[in-house]
A and B are shown apart, each in its own frame.
Chain A
Amino acid sequence: MSDRTVRRFVERLLRGQSTEHARPNDFEAEQMKTAIELRAARLGSDSPREDFVSDLHRRLAAEMTEAPQPDHPRWAPRRREVVIGGSVAAASAAAGLVVGRNLLAPGVTEQATPQAQGELDPNAGTWQSIGASADLPEGGALAFDLGSVNGFVHRTDAKLEAVSGVCTHQGCKLWLDAPESRLRCPCHSTSFSLEGATVTHQLPVAPPPLPKFKVRENDGVIEVFAPTKPA
């Protein structure tokens, strides 16, 4: 019995070369599989090359900024660019079926835009007093806690702005670093501006900005639109 198929496969594998076309029988396939397992178990051989990671990043960036082509099947224009052709549409269709339709939004093109800062908009809310206008001079900031929500209000250019006091990463309560005009998270050193923008973080992915509250002044009282307390 000739083992040429296996030998050729193993020689290329041990030289780090790509797999060639072959039609192995059951036992040959089993030997190839064993060879792959042995080769992949070599220490330190499974980290991606830096050049590869950055090059693929560039290719993806070009791909993601490409103008949407709604009249074309989604995958058709790109098939040629994919190194291993032939199965892209099938692959995406099958994966989509497994994961479920909610992951696949038709015609979504804004992936690269940064996450927008939301405004807290409770199903049921009321304007609730958080302090006297006199307590908040120009340039100052004030912490408030209404039980259901807490946050910080600040006055800049005579305008009031209020943001949530809960870190968007894992929900730790932020503290006001007044001299630096920062809201700091005690858990992972994330910091936000008084306006709620994420300023610094040490996480793999930047946490989203802090949600804002509606805020107003009413007869010398600062009020924030917050969820109604449960009866």
Chain B
Amino acid sequence: MIRSEREERRPQPVAGLQSVTGAAYPDWDAVYRDNVTWVYRLMYGKVGNQPDAEDLTAEVFMTALKPLRVSASVPEVRKYLRMTARTVLASYWGDRMGRQLTTIEEDVPEVIEPELIASDAPDKVRRLLQRLPDNYRRILELRFLQAFSVKEAAGQMGVSVANAKVLQYRALRMAAQSGEEASL
């Protein structure tokens, strides 16, 4: 009885000791607020237009939030969201194009702060453009990066509208070819 009065406890065998990988989110709301921006940006970078990026972001959260155990750590939640995004994007391209135009890589070193991991996309685009002849590079910069209309771009470059259109498509073909070769 002495022992029970002191209410001492003996060490108990520790069953299923789990490693702690990080802080957890208090609720789904926090998961959403903390991750919606990078999920959207990821999707936008893969589809290039706002309506589809919004639909895909919505699908990721609609799919992922409910079965998510909230005690999962922050890195686990982010990895799970990324994997869900990967699957959602794959099925989107399968449906729209019958093939994967772009993909989300599976093996990314643990994403601690997704916002802080700068995308290499601008660099890639810069390198791509540098490989092109001047007028090809110019038309792609004006149309894609600077949001010029064909007419404005044509005016800027001192060519006809028809000419600008042809230039744009030839430039894109060459950029795609050069991108293919660079990735081989």
Whether, in the assembled complex, B161 has its beta carbon less than 8 Å from a beta carbon of chain A, the answer is no
Knowing A96-B67, A124-B10 are in contact, say whether A103-B99 is a contact too (CB < 8 A).
no
In contact, B67 and A74 (Cβ under 8 angstroms): yes
- Complexed CA–CA distance, A98 and B77 (Å): 12
Chain B: residues with Cβ within 8 Å of the partner, total of: 89
- Complexed CA–CA distance, A139 and B59 (Å): 52
- Complexed CA–CA distance, A214 and B91 (Å): 53
- Complexed CA–CA distance, A168 and B179 (Å): 49
In contact, A17 and B49 (Cβ under 8 angstroms): yes
Chain A: residues with Cβ within 8 Å of the partner, total of: 88
Per the 8 Å Cβ criterion, residues 144-174 of A in contact with B are 169
Per the 8 Å Cβ criterion, residues 137-184 of B in contact with A are 140, 143-147, 168-169, 172-173, 175-177, 179-180
Closest partner residue, chain B, to A34 (CB atom): B176
Knowing A41-B125, A204-B33 are in contact, say whether A87-B79 is a contact too (CB < 8 A).
no
In contact, A52 and B176 (Cβ under 8 angstroms): no
CB distance from B147 to the nearest CB of A (A): 7
Knowing A38-B144, A99-B80, A124-B11 are in contact, say whether A86-B95 is a contact too (CB < 8 A).
yes
Knowing A92-B63, A112-B28, A205-B25 are in contact, say whether A123-B9 is a contact too (CB < 8 A).
yes
In contact, A48 and B144 (Cβ under 8 angstroms): no
CB distance from A17 to the nearest CB of B (A): 6
Cβ-defined partner of A16 (8 Å) among B49, B70, B125: B49
Encode A77-109 as 1/0 by CB contact (under 8 A) with B: 010011110111011101110110011110010
- Complexed CA–CA distance, A63 and B59 (Å): 12
In contact, B172 and A56 (Cβ under 8 angstroms): no
Whether, in the assembled complex, A18 has its beta carbon less than 8 Å from a beta carbon of chain B, the answer is yes
Whether, in the assembled complex, A35 has its beta carbon less than 8 Å from a beta carbon of chain B, the answer is yes
CB distance from A19 to the nearest CB of B (A): 5
Whether, in the assembled complex, B133 has its beta carbon less than 8 Å from a beta carbon of chain A, the answer is no
Whether, in the assembled complex, B121 has its beta carbon less than 8 Å from a beta carbon of chain A, the answer is yes
- Complexed CA–CA distance, A10 and B140 (Å): 12
**19 chain-A/chain-B pairs, Cβ below 8 angstroms:** A6-B172, A17-B49, A30-B180, A31-B172, A32-B97, A33-B179, A34-B179, A39-B48, A48-B40, A49-B50, A64-B28, A82-B58, A84-B56, A87-B95, A94-B87, A113-B27, A122-B9, A205-B23, A207-B23
In contact, B172 and A34 (Cβ under 8 angstroms): yes
Encode A46-80 as 1/0 by CB contact (under 8 A) with B: 11110011001101110110000000001100100
Interface stretch (choices A21-29, A129-137, A184-192):
A21-29
- Complexed CA–CA distance, A32 and B173 (Å): 9
* Residue of A38, A42, A81, A105 ringed by the most chain B CB atoms within 10 A: A38
Interface residues of B (CB under 8 A from A): 6-12, 14, 23, 25-30, 32-34, 36-37, 40-41, 44-59, 61-70, 72, 76-77, 79-80, 83-84, 86-88, 91-92, 94-99, 101-102, 106, 121-122, 124-125, 128, 140, 143-147, 168-169, 172-173, 175-177, 179-180
In contact, B26 and A114 (Cβ under 8 angstroms): yes
When A and B form their complex, which 7 residue pairs have the shortest distance between CB atoms, in order from nearest?
A87-B91, A36-B48, A38-B144, A48-B40, A91-B87, A39-B48, A31-B176
Whether, in the assembled complex, A127 has its beta carbon less than 8 Å from a beta carbon of chain B, the answer is yes
In contact, B68 and A83 (Cβ under 8 angstroms): no
In contact, B8 and A112 (Cβ under 8 angstroms): no
Knowing A41-B144, A111-B70 are in contact, say whether A59-B58 is a contact too (CB < 8 A).
yes
Query: B101: which A residues are within 8 A, CB to CB?
Result: 24, 29, 32-33, 36
- Complexed CA–CA distance, A18 and B55 (Å): 10
Whether, in the assembled complex, A142 has its beta carbon less than 8 Å from a beta carbon of chain B, the answer is no
In contact, A41 and B145 (Cβ under 8 angstroms): yes
Whether, in the assembled complex, A40 has its beta carbon less than 8 Å from a beta carbon of chain B, the answer is yes
- Complexed CA–CA distance, A103 and B2 (Å): 44
Closest partner residue, chain A, to B124 (CB atom): A37
In contact, B57 and A48 (Cβ under 8 angstroms): yes
